Structure 1
């Protein structure tokens, strides 16, 4: 029974899945489920079920389960998890190959590949005859491009002939796999996924190339549906590059049309071809051997907004007249942009259903995040993008705001997060990296604001700058706008601007002067406490800041959140006092302990001043007897904003990972900048004229999650972004 003959369900379903790519690069396998820990945590299935999902894209991958063939398969992991899904009432869609090339004894260009995949598929069906749906090969066309045309993944082909062989092997394998499965379970559905990015051109001269790419994107579906006849626009292309007439016509004679077409739509998949080469840097210039052109993301140059989910779903529905589903929704970006991408995808699917198109579901993808997709999973660098859960906290993944939104969608509730109202970066003019082609469409930033105190300070200005980049409405407040130590002033400001959250960067920061200045207590204890009470009364989220100077330095290992405080100076005492009082009256506050700022936008931080002196050939004196965790301001701001959007609360340590003395920091910065590190001279803190007593060792670590990048990464970004004086 084909699913398209069944009356459409009453409501859009929520599905979900973990990123499960097991791709091969040379002789190495890169395994997303190992990186994310999904392979170890059975209770991840409970987490997914709690969202209200109906189906799960379930990885039952060939390379992991039967690397030496079905006869020696290890079914234990799958058995345990499938049983848990039955208990939870979630139906699996079994994925057998996900951007992979199979076990070591085969590959996508192996003539035996289709039969070997079918052999494994039949063994899966025999072992688990109640699995209702399958995706034997995820995104065959996309995988064939990266494995056979671009040389990215194994077998690293770089020709049209190898691309065609990879694609035909995957499609033939899918057909044979479904026949083997249906011999056991005749009702098994084929849910076939593919990325359907659309190509646009700047000038008519390149329209022929766009037409080819826009025809090619349908090939996996067309082949499965038996549409690639002699009249197909790519028949001659396939024949010219190695496909035999017999194998193409065999797929026409015995098609295997998908029961549900799964559309994976990504911003980066929408491409723009431009022969105006002078507009683009050298690394983007290429061509097809006939014409030279740049191939860039459409959103970065086209003035009009891309069609995205709605356009791709509509095309698929109209072309095949079969049910469709969005089978991957993920965006590696800041949290509010991830929320907007998911929210807009859901809205698009609902609109198409309202028009009468048979859109079945939306799949929240990369439930536990993705690793190293910035390098197309060719390098193990640990670059992580969180999903609905952030796995950097160990064996207890931390839910993000995406999990909250997905749960609201899955249980039929109206999404509630205030940042959803705003447009995504792909709808604002900052998306453009090059002169826009055609009339510019751009949406204004809207929504409830953040209030940011401390308009004259480094941190306050950094939050304002990055809120601009992220499309987060905000008000940057001076003391005249809101005096945090004056209850009437605070109440008036909160009532006037009606914020959803407040970021309090105001405070007394002169550590040595704090020993005798009474303003230290007013600005670091009294003011933050007044603000916390007012926010708690109104249900407004609050983020406030503390310091590594709450510790006495007696530890020899970095301090974590549960270590007792014992400040040595007046500044540290006010910060420790404020922590306790604020969390007592407003326990939902996100209290951030951090340390030793350096950043690219102000000239007064330690690293900027040290490098400026060394560029002038002057010596720089730095303390060798005080160890800290230097914090790159943009990393702090971006991470803490994500956590604020997540609704995170309580005490968190946010500092770049690493422990160095001030002397070593100056040396590291000099070396990274290509300067003479011998200009850095070691001195004691006393020799540098410090009045307040500072801890010998105040490096920070976190037991709640390693969410901040390393110090080395911070220095690298700093040197890329620093604004040097003219």
Structure 2
């Protein structure tokens, strides 16, 4: 243990519990002449009652936007404070401490930019106005992630002013850091006790031995914003020569030496894919990863995708930050764009790392649940607006923000409880072998004992066999898809045939549940032959209704979650708008009747059950769904007959499985509709798939349903919508991904 660790052991902060902070993704960045505003995209700009939802999480503080571009785009004299007035007052009433951000990946109003020599003074004027208006505010982040913003705006050209050279990058960074220092000076003239919470994404660089010099340079450069604010950048600094070579005058660094503004709390933002690996062996990587530094050409890839040992992890980064600065630290962003269980695993891992270091004496103050409302289009670094959404603590694809499983985890941490979801016992994808997309390379160079420890922890994370997810329906399309995707998602499962467990036999069900002790059951079995059901209704009702009811009763007794499936055929087709969960059911055939009865019996026996209505399956892993058969026949030059007047909402099986698993993990219950967004006739579905696949439709024959010789009556319209949440992608996207997967 270092002396820095020992020095903090007896401070008052070390005796306080680790706090839970939160944050709303609030980026307002500029691309060309267009501003991209996350608060407009996520709707928080119009929903005051979001704050009450946030308060229910038990959070202590929130990183909150009081953004220059939004409040005073036309100058301070024309500022509109009404939105901020209302929200900051509500936070005050709720007892949540705001950590006010003034610029979040932005460059200010149109009359300035990051390389404007007057940018620092202009932001300081705004900062003073904020402090005067809200003198009770104690925590500020004048500029979020200045180094990252300078890189994206001045070196990579993504954001305004779209520089692509080292000089623009350094100019932007110096301007931002000076703006931070001047802003804090202005704020402290109003409130001498105001604290600077300075955030940065401290991505680490790994490399081959040949490129160690470049990795070492970038690993020093990543600290530059903190070093500037702490007054550490002088002629002895590691990258001093680089800064001068860029064209910066030595005198420009005097400001920071004369006016140090060290953070009161260092905010560490860490993303799994931020860490990079540099490799001169270009042939191992796709061309879009290729680049260089003028001396060597190399690929720049996500380190987690290539490092054989895995990454050092959040604990190593926090320890490195603590030992470098010996200043209080908070993890100011924890977010992962992934499936729900991986989001939980990542948050849990970061929390445990922070708690462990705190227990050893490091002054770690808080961990922040970032992106409370999720985020939009960060897969393109918000350089375009295409609607790519990543859910966070809340999911915005419902009529009002819906709590996900992360919300429960945040509440647990905030109230001093340890989260206990069984899926937390499984290593995240970043610890599993399938993370590797390229030939594995040793990244162990210079890592030391901390990295060794992190890898050891990931190997021994399982102390006991994890509780599985029981999947009923081993031979069916849906059951097999659940098993396949559970494998991908790191969800232990047991795929059960009727011989393993007969859901129509309560003794069989109870015996298996007692032996397996699953955390949940997915009932993917059922009688699916709609026409045959008209001839053997008793068998259909026993399999589709009695069995699920017995299973629901047993799951309630064993305190096990249940997910089971229903159908669009519970409706009669009399409507012309998509059916939602509260619409009246009126089945036209025996199969539909069996599903209606199943819904009633399951939810009566076990109201905590999740019942998902879906329709018109197609998927890449079986050869007997409508889309696959249509393409096969049309490709072979054969005729293919399809209904021209039955309108459905087709469902891509992988999308259905992923969304269903997320809802199950979230603890959702009751009826949900899940189908890809569309309303299409069967014949038009065949045309759409054929067009995307480049297949001729000359053999397609469109007929009215009544001419197809079907026994069971089908509804003419059975499109599924939802008043609980539109979680599924559009049909066009689904078909494109289907064709890619089929290869």
Band of TM-score, shorter chain: over 0.9
Correspondence for 2:373 = 368
For residues 617 and 335 of structure 2, the distance between their equivalents in structure 1, rounded to whole angstroms, comes to 32
The 5-angstrom pairing of residues 130-529 of structure 1 reads 130-202=136-208, 204-394=209-399, 396-438=400-442, 443=459, 447-517=466-536, 518-529=538-549
Which deviates more, 673-682 or 578-587? 673-682
Deviation at 1:618, TM superposition (A): 2.1
**Contact conserved, 2:66 with 2:101, CA < 8 A, in 1?**
yes
**Contact conserved, 2:376 with 2:389, CA < 8 A, in 1?**
yes
For residues 31 and 416 of structure 1, the distance between their equivalents in structure 2, rounded to whole angstroms, comes to 36
Correspondence for 2:99 = 93
3-state SS of 1:269 partner:
coil
Deviation at 1:689, TM superposition (A): 2.3
Q: Aligned to 2:609, which of 575, 580, 589?
A: 589
Correspondence for 1:623 = 643
1:266-292 Cα shifts (integer Å, max 9, x gaps): 111111111122211222222212111
Structure 1: 5+ residue stretches without partners: none
Correspondence for 1:127 = 133
**Contact conserved, 1:228 with 1:248, CA < 8 A, in 2?**
yes
1:674-726 Cα shifts (integer Å, max 9, x gaps): 12234322112232221110000000000111111111111111111125xxx
For residues 235 and 249 of structure 1, the distance between their equivalents in structure 2, rounded to whole angstroms, comes to 13
Which deviates more, 436-445 or 302-311? 436-445
For residues 192 and 9 of structure 1, the distance between their equivalents in structure 2, rounded to whole angstroms, comes to 23
Correspondence for 1:664 = 684
For residues 85 and 686 of structure 1, the distance between their equivalents in structure 2, rounded to whole angstroms, comes to 61
Correspondence for 1:559 = 579
1:331-382 Cα shifts (integer Å, max 9, x gaps): 0000000000001111000100111111010010000101111111112111
For residues 700 and 28 of structure 2, the distance between their equivalents in structure 1, rounded to whole angstroms, comes to 47
1:633-676 Cα shifts (integer Å, max 9, x gaps): 00000011000000000000000011000011011101111122
For residues 45 and 416 of structure 1, the distance between their equivalents in structure 2, rounded to whole angstroms, comes to 27
For residues 504 and 313 of structure 1, the distance between their equivalents in structure 2, rounded to whole angstroms, comes to 43
3-state SS of 1:639 partner:
helix
For residues 533 and 476 of structure 1, the distance between their equivalents in structure 2, rounded to whole angstroms, comes to 20
**Contact conserved, 1:165 with 1:242, CA < 8 A, in 2?**
no
3-state SS of 1:393 partner:
coil
**Contact conserved, 1:13 with 1:361, CA < 8 A, in 2?**
yes
Correspondence for 1:643 = 663
Deviation at 1:7, TM superposition (A): 4.4
3-state SS of 1:261 partner:
strand
Deviation at 1:77, TM superposition (A): 1.1
Deviation at 1:619, TM superposition (A): 2.6
Correspondence for 1:81 = 87
TM-score (norm 1): 0.97
1:6–1:253: structure 2 CA closer, same or farther, 3 Å change rule?
Answer: farther
3-state SS of 2:530 partner:
coil
For residues 694 and 222 of structure 1, the distance between their equivalents in structure 2, rounded to whole angstroms, comes to 70
Q: Aligned to 1:65, which of 52, 67, 71?
A: 71
Deviation at 1:469, TM superposition (A): 0.6
1:215-251 Cα shifts (integer Å, max 9, x gaps): 1100000000000001101112111213221111221
**Contact conserved, 1:265 with 1:308, CA < 8 A, in 2?**
no
Deviation at 1:6, TM superposition (A): 6.5
For residues 625 and 354 of structure 1, the distance between their equivalents in structure 2, rounded to whole angstroms, comes to 67
Correspondence for 2:20 = 14
For residues 70 and 14 of structure 2, the distance between their equivalents in structure 1, rounded to whole angstroms, comes to 36
Q: Aligned to 2:595, which of 575, 583, 591?
A: 575
Deviation at 1:437, TM superposition (A): 1.6
**Contact conserved, 1:599 with 1:722, CA < 8 A, in 2?**
no
For residues 12 and 673 of structure 2, the distance between their equivalents in structure 1, rounded to whole angstroms, comes to 53
Which deviates more, 187-196 or 305-314? 305-314
**Contact conserved, 2:13 with 2:365, CA < 8 A, in 1?**
no
Matched, 1:40 2:46: yes
Deviation at 1:264, TM superposition (A): 0.2
For residues 711 and 84 of structure 2, the distance between their equivalents in structure 1, rounded to whole angstroms, comes to 63
Q: Which runs of 4+ in 1 moved over 3 A?
A: 4-9, 438-446
For residues 107 and 697 of structure 2, the distance between their equivalents in structure 1, rounded to whole angstroms, comes to 48
For residues 287 and 711 of structure 2, the distance between their equivalents in structure 1, rounded to whole angstroms, comes to 54
1:77-108 Cα shifts (integer Å, max 9, x gaps): 11111111111111111000001111111111
1:682–1:27: structure 2 CA closer, same or farther, 3 Å change rule?
Answer: same
Correspondence for 2:569 = 549
Aligned CA RMSD, in angstroms, stands at 1.4
Deviation at 1:541, TM superposition (A): 0.5
**Contact conserved, 1:524 with 1:578, CA < 8 A, in 2?**
yes
For residues 696 and 606 of structure 1, the distance between their equivalents in structure 2, rounded to whole angstroms, comes to 17
1:156-212 Cα shifts (integer Å, max 9, x gaps): 11111111111111111111111111111111000000000111112x110011011
Structure 2: 5+ residue stretches without partners: 1-7, 445-454
How many residues matched? 718
1:272-314 Cα shifts (integer Å, max 9, x gaps): 1111222112222222121111111111111112122111111
**Contact conserved, 1:388 with 1:401, CA < 8 A, in 2?**
yes
**Contact conserved, 2:573 with 2:718, CA < 8 A, in 1?**
yes
For residues 620 and 117 of structure 1, the distance between their equivalents in structure 2, rounded to whole angstroms, comes to 66
For residues 246 and 291 of structure 2, the distance between their equivalents in structure 1, rounded to whole angstroms, comes to 22
Correspondence for 1:697 = 717
